[in-house]
Amino acid sequence: MLVAAIQVGSGPDPTENRQQLSSWISRAVSQGAGLVVLPEASQRSFGYSDDALAPDAEELEGPFVEMLLRAVGDSGAHVVAGMFERSGGPAPPFNTTVVVGSGGVLGVYRKLHLYDALGFRESAGITPGPLSAESLCVVDVDGWRVGVQTCFDLRFPEISRASIDHGAEALVLGAAWVPGRRKVDQWSTLLGARAIESTAYVVAAAQPGPRYCGHSMILGPEGERLSEAAGEGDELLVAELSKGDLAAVRASMPVIEARRLRIENPQ
């Protein structure tokens, strides 16, 4: 399967973002991508500390998902994209990642780990995803099992392990990875670690600098970088995922079968 990671920055206007993203998705699909991954907060930017996200949050049947469906059309491709989803009550919106295909919305992941670190408090304007047996999002895409996570989740290996226990062969995530001391190094190291410890492909689409770290990547199951974007600027990455290569790596380095401690899924 050919996959694409689109490094693109979003702004505060959801309409402008939809127009921009539609063009990028069409470009990736025209190159044969069966799976297209967009960054976290693609629907609209986080804004700044005093910006309220709730007024621009949408339902899953709203204009952002409708745009994704139109962009995919009948191509057979799938898109993974970050949005702010209404919580259905007075609580702040969810930071949600949707998986969309020609058949509609195939998966929904609501970010579990909110970025309350280094002076930021994502929880001030976002509701964390509910912790339950349905918290994970692992979907079938063109015969591949794909696990979904978002940005800060990368620092918590349990979500990747749980996705692998549900059969994931590729891990995808969108991010708006805030820059700072050693942040690019940490981003790169953690992406490689998740690939290596899971013997899985990793497809990571990030928002670019200077506001964020950029460096979107597609990695192979031994942690090798198949494609990497620069720190700044919009960019389209593509790479081929191989079932044969994945099987060979998992046969020679059987860490999934050899693991003796398992983390049970939350109930």
What does the pLDDT average to over 98-118?
Answer: 96
- Is the pLDDT confidence value at 184 over 90? yes
Q: How far apart are CA 109 and CA 148, in angstroms?
A: 7
Q: Are 153 and 204 in contact (CB under 8 A)?
A: no
Q: Kindly name the residue from 111, 137, 169, 228 that is annotated as catalytic.
A: 111
Partners of 238 in the beta sheet? 4
Q: In which residue are the tokens 């998705």 written? A: 25
- 137 has catalytic annotation: no
- 243 has catalytic annotation: no
Q: Kindly name the residue from 85, 122, 137, 151 that is annotated as catalytic.
A: 151
Tell me the per-residue pLDDT of 110-167, one tens digit each, with 9 for 90 and over.
999 999 999 999 999 999 999 887 899 999 999 999 999 999 999 999 999 999 999 9
Return the pLDDT at 260.
84
> Which domains, from first to last, does the chain contain?
2-258 (3.60.110.10)
Return the pLDDT at 267.
46
Query: What percent of the chain has a predicted confidence (pLDDT) above 90?
Result: 90
Q: How far apart are CA 154 and CA 216, in angstroms?
A: 13
Tell me the per-residue pLDDT of 22-50, one tens digit each, with 9 for 90 and over.
999 999 999 999 999 999 999 999 987 66
19 C-beta neighbours (distance < 10 Å), count: 11
Q: How far apart are CA 62 and CA 67, in angstroms?
A: 9
Number of continuous H segments (helices) and E segments (strands) in the chain: 6, 12
Displacement of CA 88 from its chain's centroid (Å): 23
Place 263 in a pLDDT band, splitting at 50, 70 and 90: low
Instruction: Write down the mean pLDDT value for the chain.
Output: 95
* φ, ψ (nearest 5 deg) of residue 180: 160, -170
The Cβ-side half-sphere exposure at 146, using a 13 Å CA radius, reads 29
- 197 has catalytic annotation: no
For the chain, what's the residue count?
Answer: 267
What does the pLDDT average to over 174-197?
Answer: 97
Q: Are 43 and 14 in contact (CB under 8 A)?
A: yes
